Amino acid sequence: MAEKDKIVEKYNYLLKLFKKNRIILGRVMKRYVTLKRNYINLRALSNKTVKDLSNKIIEDKYQIVFNSKKHIVNVSQEFLDEIEMTKEELSQSFYIDTLFSNFFPTLDKSQKEIPIKPFHFPIMIKNYFIENEHIHPYVHFEFFGKIKYITERKDYFYFLNIRDMTSEIELNYIQNTDSVIKSLSISNLFLQQAKKNIEVHKIILIFLICSLIEEYNKETSDHLKRIQEITGFISDECLRMGFIDEPGYDKGEYVKDINYTSVLHDIGKMGVPNYLLSKETELTSDEKKIITTHTVIGANYIKKIIDFLSADPNYSSYIHFLNIPYDICLYHHERWDGKGYPEGLAGKNIPVSARIVAVADTYDAIRGNRSYTVPRTHKEALEIIRKESGKQFDPDIVSAFVNVSDLLEDVEY
C-alpha cells in the first residue's frame, strides 16, 4: 500500500510538473511568436529606412541624378533657378543628350561604380533684349560625380555635383579672352549641332513620307513638290508683313517648319482608294465625300507619331514641330467664312499654317494638270484667288500671295 501511495504521489508530482512546464512552454512560444513578429516588422522597417535614406542621399547630396535612360530622377530647385528652367524644360533640352554623348564616361557594366571626372559645362540661359539686340548669357558649371549601380532599383544612376564657376570664367575672360571665346565656341557648336540634328531628323521624316506617297500616286507626288515651293514664297512674305505670331515659337523657325511640312498636307490621300485619285471623269457626290476624309486620315497619321514620341520626354521637343503638319493636314480645307471641312472653323480659329497652305494648295490645283480639270494660267489663278479673299481665304494671306505673284509665275508646270 505504501508502495502504491508513493507511485500515485510521484505521478501527481509529474502531472503537476508537466502542467507547469506546459504553461511555461506556452509562454515561451507566445514570446517566440511576438519576437518573430517584431523581427519581421523591424526588418521591413529597416529595409524601408535604408531605402528612404538612400533616396534622401540622392536628393540631398547630389544636385542632379539621372538614370541610364537619361531621365531626371532628381534635380535641385537651386540649380533650376540658376539656369532659369523648369524640370520639364531641362528634361526636354538637348543638354542632357550632350552630357551623355560628350562628357559622361562610357558605361562599363562590369563595374558597379565609375567616377565622373570634373568637366566644364556652359549652359545658355534665356535671352534678354538689350538695345535692340538679343543677349544670351551663359552660366558656367563644373560637373563631377559618379555612375553607380543601385541594386534595389536594378539600374545605373548618374550622380552629379555641380559647382558654379561663372565668376572664374569671367575673370579668366579678362585675363585670357581667347580661352573663353573657345569655350563659348564649343558651347555654340553643341547648340548648332543639336539644331542641325533636329533639322536632319525633320527632313528624313518628311522625305520618307513623300517617297511613300510617290509610290502610291505620282500625280499627288508632283503636287507636293510644287506645294513646298509655293508655300515657301507665301509664308516668307507673311513673315515680312508681320502676319506670323505663334506663341512659344521663333517666327523664323515657325515659317521654316511650315515650309518643311507643307508637303505632308495630303498624306491622308494614302488612305483613299487610288482609283478615285486617278479618276479622269468628274467625281460623284459620294466619291467627293470619300476624298474629303483625307484631312482626318492624314491628321491621324501625324497623331500616331505624336503619341509615340510623347511617351519619352527625351523626344517631346519634336511634338511642337509635329503639331504644324497635324494642323495643316486637318485644316487646310477649312474656309475663312466657316463653310469648309472637316470642322467648319472660321477666321483666325483656323491655324495660320493651314491658312497659308490652303492658298498654296488652291493655286496649284488651278494651275496643275489634274486628270479631271483643265489647267489655267497664272493670271487666271491669281484672279480666282483674289475673288475668294474674305470668303475662302484669309485676306492677309491673299495680300501676301499677291505680293509674291511674280515669283509664283516662275513655278514650273
Domain boundaries, the chain: 1-32, 64-175, 189-408
Q: At which residue does the C-alpha cell 508632283 appear?
A: 222
If one counts every other C-beta atom within 10 angstroms of the C-beta of residue 59, the result is 14
Q: Where are the alpha helices (DSSP H) in 332-377?
A: 352-367
Q: What is 64-175's CATH topology?
A: Beta-Lactamase (3.30.450)
Q: pTM higher than 0.75 for the full model?
A: no
Residue 66 near residue 73 (C-beta atoms within 8 A): yes
The upper half-sphere exposure of residue 304, i.e. CA atoms within 13 Å in the direction of its Cβ, equals 6
Query: At the top level of CATH, which class does the domain 189-408 belong to?
Result: mainly alpha
Dist CA 266 CA 213 (whole Å): 9
Task: Please give the average pLDDT of every successive group of 10 residues along the chain, which has 413 residues.
Answer: 61 56 56 58 54 46 86 91 88 86 86 93 68 60 92 90 81 55 52 56 63 60 80 93 86 89 88 84 90 94 86 72 93 97 97 97 88 83 96 98 90 80
Q: What is the pLDDT of residue 43?
A: 57
Q: At which residue does the C-alpha cell 514570446 appear?
A: 31
Residue 355 near residue 397 (C-beta atoms within 8 A): yes
Q: What is the pLDDT of residue 203?
A: 62
Cell of 251: 517666327
Q: Are strands 64-67 and 113-124 parallel, antiparallel or unpaired?
A: unpaired
Dist CA 143 CA 141 (whole Å): 6
Q: What is the pLDDT of residue 133?
A: 46
What residues have CB less than 8 Å from 267, skipping those under 6 apart?
209, 213, 298, 301, 302, 329
Q: Do domains 64-175 and 189-408 have the same CATH topology?
A: no
If one counts every other C-beta atom within 10 angstroms of the C-beta of residue 406, the result is 10
Q: What is the pLDDT of residue 41?
A: 61
